[in-house]
Structure 1
């Protein structure tokens, strides 16, 4: 397997900038949807990636940025507790990752295998995408994510949203090389230009913004309500994290679950998420888009992710850059999210298919069915609701229902325990 790990610093810097470009679209969409500051998100993605690389000994070519699993919970928590207490809850969610990493170190990956088989992983990931699907539809229709306010005339919004979606789909399917990895960027650019012609882009914030500006950092506050609301949500991205570590291992031909170890990668992700919340940024997760770029470029040198992180931190302090991102019209984001949220759901569906989970077995059918309805339907029990509740329900059902062997088709960790 060819490994382009050598090269001068400028080549590494260029490769790092390229990796940030691949991650960029999804990185900024999450804060734009939830009302967070995009410059803070860039800063915390950079800081989070640096923390992850330090904890894992700089062995894994992976980049951390905004997690889509937290979109719906952050919007709900912001309405109930305010942004500062939501950040406190997200810090606690990062601490759950850290606790999980300790358990993995003590008990090994077999403990994860028992707790999170594909019959749990699949439907939980599906609910991350499908549970927030209405947000995409509302935004594509020119309304705020909750549907409360019409920001753009619906006909105009739908035209812009569908063309933005079409461009993103075309680039995803027909583009070649690196262009295929940045379909969101092309969708945003075309949608932005159309919006400018339609007269729905307000460039006043760009004119008023300074070239250099400190991001709008927010200090966290802590309340048990926000913590109990947010902590269970971390189960879903923890599941996603394990899949991403396996994926990058398959690309580079290395077993990262053994070296540096799943306990170190979970610890790095947990510390990165808590650090992000400390500054008022979205929680971090490992980015599969970047794994795709690593596969395509064959550049397996983890140092390029340090350059990507550094570039993100520098861009966070360019005030006009952040202002441009804030002016992206709602229909543009809505159109692209129609694809992005659906793609997340397909990843969950593919987890069930790939591991040949037998849904004719009663226990598996019950777990998937209850998880989907609780998650997508927005079931509420105390402080638990939506993704958090369905994650907890899936884990409990898997542990208490008889026939746990039936939860597995082909074991996800089989090749790591040989």
Structure 2
């Protein structure tokens, strides 16, 4: 009996710190959205955990990604929750978003995802993947790391050293190492605020909210779902590069859309925001090379517990922003690098002027557009690629499309 118990405990002890890394990666963004919109952060954490578990159940555990609060819906959520004091109408709008996911999944199934996929060439995919990381660079540097560069750099360097020069166990938890060392350094420098820990409740149940149907809320939120779907597709391209297999084929992008839609609907009833796949956690996958969905599911369970036990969640909330800024530089940078790797592996010819222009347009639109830049950059790149003729094609080399 003791041997069997030891066999079951050891995998758990190995997986637990990996799951904790994913919690740290998603925590800041997941609680920031409810803070900005007037929703309850604890409910958002619980919703993200339950939503992630539902997502993994629907996709058969074949898509190792975490679902957290979507930033795309901040404006309409703030309007209905904070200004109109109508959270029920916000729930109705989020249910309409979930419905859009289900409808588009049926359309994609009917048309055939591979037809859609063939319309998106590598010269578009690679830069879009890079933009997912680069679009977050301002957040990581200006809004987080720049608050205390010394704290951010200590955290970043600790994570880099752990990833490249640490012993084997340390190399699979570099994010955790970076956060721990950065936290200790920040505490020694007097940069840790323990106030959230003192004021947080011990138990914090989710805020269940019934929908109050509103045409205005539906019209304000449902169209934004098309933007987040494009971002989801970009995240799946990143995930394909990281894990070395195509999740848009198995379990398939339509099922991924259904899973995201159902998770958003559940989140709405729990008082949380819309759910979306998280680039932060893709960065963790890229660094650790640990792709087990069980690890992500463990993170989801931890998130639910953090949402229920306010003191524990508040302890994580005491992590200084610059610590996560230093870590985010590494996470987002890894995603940007994945896009460059995709362009190289697909042998995209950048001596071809049209290819170069496509990449240029995607980069500038994606980085320069303040909101939903990834979606608009993708659309801009596709429009240039398919609608603008290439009269110099023979001079600059053929553009590789597949």
Tell me the residue number matched to 2:234: 239
For the Cα contact (< 8 Å) 2:17–2:176, is it kept in 1? no
Tell me the residue number matched to 1:49: 52
Tell me the residue number matched to 1:134: 138
Tell me the residue number matched to 1:284: 276
The alpha carbon displacement at 1:79 in A equals 7.7
1:390 aligns with 2:393: no
For the Cα contact (< 8 Å) 1:126–1:346, is it kept in 2? yes
Cα pair distance change 1:390/1:79, threshold 3 Å: farther
Runs of 5+ in structure 2 lacking a partner? Answer: 1-5
Cα pair distance change 1:169/1:239, threshold 3 Å: same
Tell me the residue number matched to 2:67: 65
> After the TM superposition, which of the residue ranges 38-47 and 316-325 deviates more from structure 2?
38-47
> After the TM superposition, which of the residue ranges 370-379 and 7-16 deviates more from structure 2?
7-16
Cα pair distance change 1:388/1:106, threshold 3 Å: same
For the Cα contact (< 8 Å) 1:43–1:312, is it kept in 2? yes
Tell me the residue number matched to 2:3: none
TM-score, normalising length: structure 2: 0.76
1:103 aligned residue (107, 114, 132) = 107
Map 1:1-40 to 2 at 5 A. 17-31=16-30, 34=33, 36=35, 39-40=42-43
Tell me the residue number matched to 2:259: 268
Cα pair distance change 1:190/1:93, threshold 3 Å: farther
Distance 1:100 1:172 in 2: 40
The alpha carbon displacement at 1:137 in A equals 2.0
The alpha carbon displacement at 1:182 in A equals 2.7
RMSD across aligned positions (CA): 3.9
Map 1:111-190 to 2 at 5 A. 111-140=115-144, 142-143=146-147, 157-190=148-181
Q: Map Cα deviations across residues 85-142 of structure 1 (whole Å, 9 max, x no partner).
A: 9987776665554444323322333223223222222222222222232222223455
Distance 2:321 2:195 in 1: 17
Tell me the residue number matched to 1:416: none
Distance 2:387 2:120 in 1: 13
Distance 2:298 2:180 in 1: 25
Distance 1:94 1:161 in 2: 37
Tell me the residue number matched to 1:196: 187
For the Cα contact (< 8 Å) 1:92–1:227, is it kept in 2? yes
For the Cα contact (< 8 Å) 1:161–1:335, is it kept in 2? yes
Cα pair distance change 1:167/1:200, threshold 3 Å: same
Cα pair distance change 1:77/1:198, threshold 3 Å: farther
Q: Map Cα deviations across residues 234-267 of structure 1 (whole Å, 9 max, x no partner).
A: 31222222442575474xxxx7655543422332
Q: Map Cα deviations across residues 266-308 of structure 1 (whole Å, 9 max, x no partner).
A: 32234324544553246332754675699658xx6x6676555
Map 1:309-348 to 2 at 5 A. 309-348=300-339
Distance 1:103 1:75 in 2: 27
Aligned residue pairs total: 376
Distance 1:116 1:29 in 2: 32
The alpha carbon displacement at 1:206 in A equals 0.6
Distance 2:366 2:287 in 1: 31
TM-score, normalising length: structure 1: 0.73
Cα pair distance change 1:277/1:259, threshold 3 Å: same
